[in-house]
Structure 1
Amino acid sequence: MTLLQADDVAVFDASGRALVHPVSLRLDAGAPLVVLGETGSGKSLLAQALMGTLPPELWARGRVRIAEAEHDAAQPQGFRRLWGRAVAVLPQEPWLSLDPLMRARAQVAEAHALVRGLAPVAARRAAAADLAALGLGDEAGRRYPHELSGGMAQRVAFAAARAGGARIVVADEPTKGLDAARRDEVARLLTRALETGGGLLAITHDLALAQLLGGRLIVMREGAVVESGPLAEIFAAPQADYTQKLLDADPARWPRRARRAAGPSVVEGRRLTVSRGGRALVEGLDLTLRAGEIVGVSGPSGCGKSSLGDALLGLHAPACGAVRRIEGVARTAFQKLYQDPVSAFPRRRALGATLADVARRFGRRRAEVEALLARLDLAPALLARRPEQVSGGELQRLALLRVMLAEPRFLFADEPTSRLDPITQRGVIDLIATLAEEGCSVLLVSHDAALLDRTADWRMALGGHGTAEAAGRAAPAVALGAAG
């Protein structure tokens, strides 16, 4: 049974320039459809056109058939009655979809009440059960979105979107920022609906997620379909050169980064204990970060990776112990690359204006900004847009550009490639490695074990009974608290 059929759906900007060239596809009950491609390939724009959620400066053309009714993609208001009931949309940026003034459980309960029509008590119970199934207990349910890790916020957004019981799920990068265990869990949740005749359209650049989901595959590049067919067959023998390039960019296939001699200490933590909400996440840590080295940190969502980096930066006071930073260096030389860049940019201001302020602050010329744009493969036209008008991958690269303008001596890179496709991810990691080669000390957080193995000089794992692992020099002594 066909749940969704699209015929020649295309997306255009205000000038009439095609951003997505005509695409036809079919979503059948019980069979996932995966759309794969690099950042800016048009994957999310295609999904938005299918749901009638394109931003007002863009418009679509084509026909979409959902729930036995045909809709004109050029008339997005006709899709509104389907939202939450026939189609559930899992957004790319969870913090843009969550109400910052509502606690997590209340947001999920509201969806149960307004979309499914449950009574308040039943809605709260259903919300608690949904969050528990995603590994979020009562404590997480009482938190506001800004108090959640990126992975936690992603799971809350997932629960809220699914609360209405829609038969079709459109998942736009649903596992960004999640560790492998949580990614596999979300994949199982997404496919569970297929067992009862539901449909899944997954937009992703995550090769591992695509393989977990299986089904049919569409590969996109620059707004056009370059290859389509059964996912297993394409992964085994891709016909398009671009598809092969995408598969080859998997971190597991990278060469291991050459180790270099580390320089003097830039940041030190001594007997460091870091807590959140009264719970110790990291206890008694001795840690030295040296110029020119990359230290990798892994661990499940909420285990304290971001809190540790914030403590080293001075953004979060440690519960015990001390942090020492190199003397004679401006505080602005200690920089953070946020896991969710949307939270780090003013939402109502053009990106170019924000970057121009940073460039003036550090005495950087416009030509230097333009050179960094080219180095990061970013179009200058993006500077005229606001944060919500660019893709997550583009925004993450713009965040890296902003950090590079400050010429950091220490960079806390908190999941810096969680929003990037494999090809762009490799380029960004190469740039971060270049910063290290120029003398910057880097603390790199990632859920991708292969990426850390190929990139970091040494690594440590946080969470539960995690241990510190080292490559290149002895590991520090670490005692770790339970995951938050």
Structure 2
Amino acid sequence: MSATELTTAPVAAQDPAVRDASALAPLVDVAGLNVDFPVGRGWVRVVRDVSFRIHPGECLALVGESGSGKSVTSRSLVGLAADSARVTADRLELEGRDVRGHGERDWRGIRGSRVGFVLQDALASLDALRHVGAEISETLELHTSLTRAERADRVIELLTDVGVPEPEIRARQYPYELSGGLRQRALIASAIAADPQILIADEPTTALDATVAAQILQLLERLKRRAGATLVVSHDLAVVARIADRIAVMRAGEIVEQGTTESVLYDPQHAYTKQLLAAIPARAKRGARLAPTSRATRYLPPEAVGDRVGPAPRAGRLAQVAPQGTPLVEVRDLAKTFRGPDGTDRRVLHGVDFALHRGETLGIVGESGSGKTTAARIALGAETATSGQVLLAGRDVAGLGRRERAALRLGVQAVSQDPLGSFDPRYTVRAVLGEALRVAGYPRAARTARALELLDLVGLDRATLDRRPLELSGGMRQRVAIARALATSPDVIVADEPVSALDVSVQAQILDLLVDLQRATGVAILFISHDLAVVHHLADRVLVMSGGRVVESGDVERVFTTPEHAYTRELLAAIPHLDERRLAAAPAAPADPPAAPPAAAPVVGPHRAPVVFLPASAVPRPAPAADPTSPSEGTPS
């Protein structure tokens, strides 16, 4: 069955066992769920009256923007809402057991064995001081009777199942030694190690390339078909279409629409659902704006907003010194070798060449471990090549003095694949942006005003300025990372998975923003992504990498429509996508989202759950409240 058939024929329609699942007792039964966090003398309600059921063999998907409360909802089901959270519900049952009164000891007996949980941020979730194999083995040690030798064999089997290449080597590596996609796969392996009856996956395919994401979806499908229940939290509606039987759309802490996958995607009733669907990149939308009323253009000159043909852009640092027609960034015959944990050298780049010119976007795609991030880090100067050249504005950086090299490097800024790992956790967002603005030469008195402009450009409200990265959702952190890269008005932006953690509506704003900035300033973009639909929408040219080599390159339209290499064809075949003809036939989305629920107080910015202040006495404490494990993760996402 093809990817298209999988998406257009929901799972419930494919399997009679799934269609009859509603006749069985639900494995997950939630009614009237509310989650509150203390603020001053009152409380902020971030999840409001949420109700749903998941029956055996069924998958429910929670979708919505960052800050909609979907991750807090999922974490509340396993006692991980946070230290200070107040979780109340009319009913909260797992496998028929009322868990409202569970304490931490009770939850430890459930998490891992009966309920597997895949968190959104793999780097923060995995223990940085342990090999990934030891992390997976711990789950087996706690919840199975396997011997040490059997656990070691099972770890290799699990890593193989989730698509980790060379699992024997990867099991002996630390999380920081793995790419983002490999870390995510290791985390999923840990969650499914004890074969839990219920699986909760928060953005399980966010950091994965298309072929590995397809493997993960097949794994989730197999687990579900063994009469398990699956709750998937995702901003990727194409992934949702591929695996979910039902979809619940969340906005502002509430479920605004719930139904079968077929009805929600192709016959949406709520205006917000229609807006989410309209923001998905598609072939027919290439070159067009995805967010009709994007806040991303607020501080750009009016002539920069419109079609892709705009005024002549200004020359930046690199463009001013580059000879006419010279690429801003060029790499020649790059090779890179790493020493593996077994003591052998591993070549991860083999003769990589590419050039990036002013005002163009070059996309790099490939599986995790293909070398695309390593090549980008070498271009940035964050990594040194074993051999080969890196040229900025036609100058070989290896032959430049320290001061001259630093001046040129200022014109090249990065958006990291892992925003949390790139921030100082002690810093507020004000300090993160202020540091970048200081380097860019902004006087202290002007930094706050410019920082607020940058936050508005990426769709964050001004209250974010005084929050720390750990207090933000994954999507919010990614937007701060993009704002920081924009602070120095760079000539080149190296964007490594810049929209991977964002929901589709915010992704649409960011993609529109990058296009508008490029048109207005001539900035060149090196765009690395596993999301081929996003690359097709944004890039002018594309490089396809596999095994550290460039296997195909060229005009993006040519590569995507008539791929020459078998690996490129394999990547394109694995992309989950929606039926564009049926989407086009659906009612049009409104230009602006519907108003927030009447009970909510106004809040600046469209991406945060409405703030409802309650007196402390109005929110009863559960008896007893579940103990926390990670207070910093209690922010809605």
TM-score tier, shorter chain, comes to: over 0.9
**Is 1:33 matched with 2:52?**
no
Aligned to 2:335: 273
Contact in 2 for aligned 1:184/1:212 (Cα 8 Å): no
Match of 1:168 among 191, 198, 206: 198
Secondary structure (helix, strand or coil) at the match of 2:555 reads: coil
Query: In the superposition, relative to structure 1, how do residues 443 and 474 fare at CA in structure 2: closer, same or farther (>3 Å)?
Result: same
Query: In the superposition, relative to structure 1, how do residues 30 and 311 fare at CA in structure 2: closer, same or farther (>3 Å)?
Result: same
Aligned to 1:197: 227
Contact in 1 for aligned 2:370/2:545 (Cα 8 Å): yes
Structure 1 residue 331: Cα displacement = 2.2
Contact in 2 for aligned 1:298/1:445 (Cα 8 Å): yes
**Is 1:317 matched with 2:384?**
yes
**CA RMSD after TM alignment:** 2.6
Aligned to 1:424: 506
**Is 1:220 matched with 2:250?**
yes
Aligned to 1:5: 29
Match of 1:254 among 250, 262, 285: 285
1: CA distance, partners of 2:156 / 2:367: 21
Query: In the superposition, relative to structure 1, how do residues 61 and 188 fare at CA in structure 2: closer, same or farther (>3 Å)?
Result: same
Which runs of 5 or more structure 2 residues have no equivalent in the other structure?
1-24, 289-307, 314-324, 340-344, 396-403, 560-564, 568-637
Structure 1 residue 73: Cα displacement = 7.4
Where do 4+ consecutive residues of structure 1 move more than 6 Å?
Answer: 73-77, 259-263, 472-475
Secondary structure (helix, strand or coil) at the match of 1:419 reads: coil
Contact in 1 for aligned 2:28/2:55 (Cα 8 Å): yes
Structure 1 residue 414: Cα displacement = 0.5
1: CA distance, partners of 2:205 / 2:265: 20
Aligned to 1:187: 217
Contact in 2 for aligned 1:52/1:80 (Cα 8 Å): no
Q: Which has the higher contact order (CA 8 A, sep 6+)?
A: 2
Contact in 1 for aligned 2:539/2:556 (Cα 8 Å): no
Deviation readout 1:32-72 (Å, 9 max, x if unpaired): 11111122211101111222101224322213111332122
Structure 1 residue 81: Cα displacement = 2.9
Aligned to 2:552: 468
Aligned to 1:386: 468
Secondary structure (helix, strand or coil) at the match of 2:410 reads: helix
Contact in 1 for aligned 2:60/2:247 (Cα 8 Å): yes
2: CA distance, partners of 1:271 / 1:360: 36
Alignment of 1:17-166 (within 5 A): 17-62=44-89, 63-72=91-100, 79-136=107-164, 137-166=167-196
Asked which structure has the greater CA Rg, the reply is 2
Aligned to 1:377: 459
Deviation readout 1:197-251 (Å, 9 max, x if unpaired): 1110100011121011121110011111110011112112111111111111111
Aligned to 1:435: 517
Amino acid in structure 2 at the alignment position of 1:185: Q
1: CA distance, partners of 2:511 / 2:105: 41
Structure 1 residue 76: Cα displacement = 6.8
Structure 1 residue 474: Cα displacement = 11
Amino acid in structure 2 at the alignment position of 1:420: L
Contact in 1 for aligned 2:430/2:451 (Cα 8 Å): no
2: CA distance, partners of 1:49 / 1:42: 11
Aligned to 2:3: none
Amino acid in structure 2 at the alignment position of 1:49: S
Aligned to 2:435: 357
Which runs of 5 or more structure 1 residues have no equivalent in the other structure?
none
Aligned to 2:43: 16
Query: In the superposition, relative to structure 1, how do residues 474 and 198 fare at CA in structure 2: closer, same or farther (>3 Å)?
Result: closer
How many residues were matched structurally? 479
**Is 1:368 matched with 2:435?**
no
Deviation readout 1:134-190 (Å, 9 max, x if unpaired): 222212222110111111000000111112222100000000121111111111111
TM-score where L is the length of structure 1: 0.93
1: CA distance, partners of 2:106 / 2:88: 13
1: CA distance, partners of 2:424 / 2:504: 27
Amino acid in structure 2 at the alignment position of 1:64: L
The answer to which structure has the higher strand fraction is 1
1: CA distance, partners of 2:29 / 2:252: 22
Structure 1 residue 381: Cα displacement = 2.3
Secondary structure (helix, strand or coil) at the match of 1:99 reads: coil
Contact in 2 for aligned 1:281/1:463 (Cα 8 Å): no
1: CA distance, partners of 2:353 / 2:115: 50
1: CA distance, partners of 2:190 / 2:241: 26
Contact in 2 for aligned 1:264/1:290 (Cα 8 Å): yes
1: CA distance, partners of 2:153 / 2:432: 43
After alignment, is 143-152 or 79-88 more displaced?
79-88
Aligned to 1:406: 488
Secondary structure (helix, strand or coil) at the match of 2:113 reads: coil
After alignment, is 318-327 or 205-214 more displaced?
318-327
Amino acid in structure 1 at the alignment position of 2:544: A
